[in-house]
């Protein structure tokens, strides 16, 4: 239904989005640089073991979200990280190769455009920790399996450096070897969960742009998972991009987070380093509902934002705040696409 340039979506009479937002989303390559296909791990494991169980309804849910490319990275949290990540990659490849009618594995920048053009779901494989790299040679091994992004550390300290909850130590000598190997292979370096010094050291050591795939601004929320202005500036100066998350704990302190609070982080980063260095990294799936109760999980609840349509609501909000359609297209995916193309070569 059309009402003064606004459309109703998702068969929900209470939800309208502007025609401008619809046009921008439809014309953009939308990349969620920490976007999960589902938070129902049993469903994901079922799809990976039996790709035909990924249904037409599952596909439609992902397509309706407006996201073209998902980066469903996790931290396996296993003592044998190497073996665990091999199994994880095997599961993804079994699903993606088993359902070429639905998925495109994103290995190159051209694959992103192809996924959009063919109206399929693009999946960009990566991990939220690099513990699986036993030696620098393992980087090329996992690149060969399809991994294109790797976060150096999770929240804790590891052989590469310090996570955001592990003090102020920087990148280790081994971490420097891994950064160099990732540059050679064409694998994107992610510092989203890294500590401040490790993040800065990684930017300094890398010959290619470094990414913050999913974090928010510490100037607005004093949380160790949020990035200080110094780190955001250094990442941008090297050609990198920062993806803004919708996790309430990183969006606002003291009371429930709202859509406007999320938009404030986009504003701060854009004013600080330029809109061309800002993107989306929701750190959630397109539903975020408990599979049993169907209620939005509390740690993902943002007032004024329905998870299944967040891309449209964010787009509408950015346009209302005066961002041009071209700037919003960059935020939705164009900026990450540019950086990844440079990193991958």
CA gap 141, 262 in Å, rounded? 38
Residue 12, domain member (yes or no): no
β-sheet bridge partners, residue 303: 258
∠114-120-123 over CA atoms, to 5°?
A: 80
Model confidence pLDDT, tens digit, residues 105-145: 999 999 999 999 999 999 999 999 999 999 999 999 999 99
234 Cβ partners below 8 Å, 6+ apart? 199, 200, 203, 204
Average pLDDT (219-239) is 98
Instruction: Tell whether the model's pLDDT for residue 294 goes beyond 90.
Output: no
Using CA atoms, how far residue 295 sits from 29, 56, 76, in Å, is 30, 23, 26
For residue 70, give the nearest of 87, 49, 98, 92 by alpha carbon.
92
Residue 206, domain member (yes or no): yes
Count of structural domains within the chain: 1
Q: Domain span at residue 337?
A: 24-344
CA gap 120, 116 in Å, rounded? 6
Model confidence pLDDT, tens digit, residues 243-288: 999 999 999 998 899 999 999 999 999 999 999 999 999 999 998 8
CATH of residue 196's domain is 3.20.20.140
**What pLDDT score was predicted for residue 212?**
98
Model confidence pLDDT, tens digit, residues 171-212: 999 999 999 999 999 999 999 999 999 999 999 999 999 999
**What pLDDT score was predicted for residue 5?**
59
Query: 């439809």: which residue's tokens?
Result: 26
Q: What is the DSSP letter of 10?
A: T
Residue 86, domain member (yes or no): yes
Virtual CA dihedral for 165, 171, 172, 177, nearest 10 degrees?
Answer: 130
313 Cβ partners below 8 Å, 6+ apart? 17, 259, 304, 305, 306
Calculate helix-pair angle for 335-344, 109-117, nearest 10 degrees: 140
Helices (H) and strands (E) in the chain, counts: 14, 12
pTM of the model: 0.95
Query: 């990540």: which residue's tokens?
Result: 85
Residue 11, domain member (yes or no): no
**Percent of the chain whose predicted confidence (pLDDT) is above 70:** 96
Pair 93, 103: CB distance under 8 Å: no
Residue 14, domain member (yes or no): no
Residue 9, domain member (yes or no): no
Instruction: Tell whether the model's pLDDT for residue 4 goes beyond 50.
Output: no
Average pLDDT (22-49) is 97
Residue 66, domain member (yes or no): yes
Residue 1, domain member (yes or no): no
Longest dimension (CA), the chain: 60
Helix, strand, coil percent content, the chain, rounded in steps of 5: 45, 15, 40
């Amino acid at each position: 239904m059309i009402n003064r340039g606004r459309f109703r979506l998702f068969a929900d009479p209470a939800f309208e989005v502007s025609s401008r937002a619809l046009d921008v989303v439809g014309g953009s390559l939308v990349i969620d640089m920490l976007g999960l296909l589902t938070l129902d791990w049993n469903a994901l494991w079922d799809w990976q073991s039996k790709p035909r169980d990924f249904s037409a309804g599952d596909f439609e849910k992902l397509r309706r979200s407006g996201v073209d490319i998902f980066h469903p990275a996790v931290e396996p949290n296993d003592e044998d990280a190497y073996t665990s990540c091999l199994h994880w990659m095997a599961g993804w490849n079994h699903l993606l190769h088993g359902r070429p009618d639905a998925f495109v594995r994103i290995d190159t920048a051209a694959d992103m455009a192809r996924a959009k053009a063919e109206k399929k779901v693009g999946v960009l494989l990566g991990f939220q920790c690099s513990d699986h790299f036993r030696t620098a040679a393992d980087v090329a091994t996992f690149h060969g399996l399809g991994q294109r992004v790797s976060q150096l550390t999770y929240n804790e300290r590891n052989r590469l450096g310090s996570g955001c909850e592990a003090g102020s130590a920087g990148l280790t000598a081994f971490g420097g070897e891994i950064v160099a190997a990732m540059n050679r292979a064409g694998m994107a370096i992610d510092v989203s969960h890294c500590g401040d010094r490790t993040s800065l050291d990684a930017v300094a050591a890398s010959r290619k742009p470094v990414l913050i795939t999913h974090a928010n601004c510490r100037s607005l929320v004093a949380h160790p998972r949020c990035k200080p202005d110094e780190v955001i500036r250094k990442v941008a100066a090297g050609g990198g991009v920062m993806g803004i998350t919708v996790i309430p704990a990183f969006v606002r302190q003291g009371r429930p987070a709202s859509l406007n609070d999320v938009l404030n982080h986009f504003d701060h980063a854009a004013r600080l380093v330029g809109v061309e260095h800002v993107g989306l990294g929701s750190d959630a799936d397109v539903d975020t509902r408990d599979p049993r109760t169907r209620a939005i999980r509390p740690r993902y609840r943002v007032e004024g934002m329905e998870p299944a349509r967040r891309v449209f609501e964010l787009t509408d909000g950015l346009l209302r705040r005066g961002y041009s359609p071209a700037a919003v297209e960059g935020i939705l995916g164009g900026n990450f696409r540019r950086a990844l193309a440079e990193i991958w070569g």
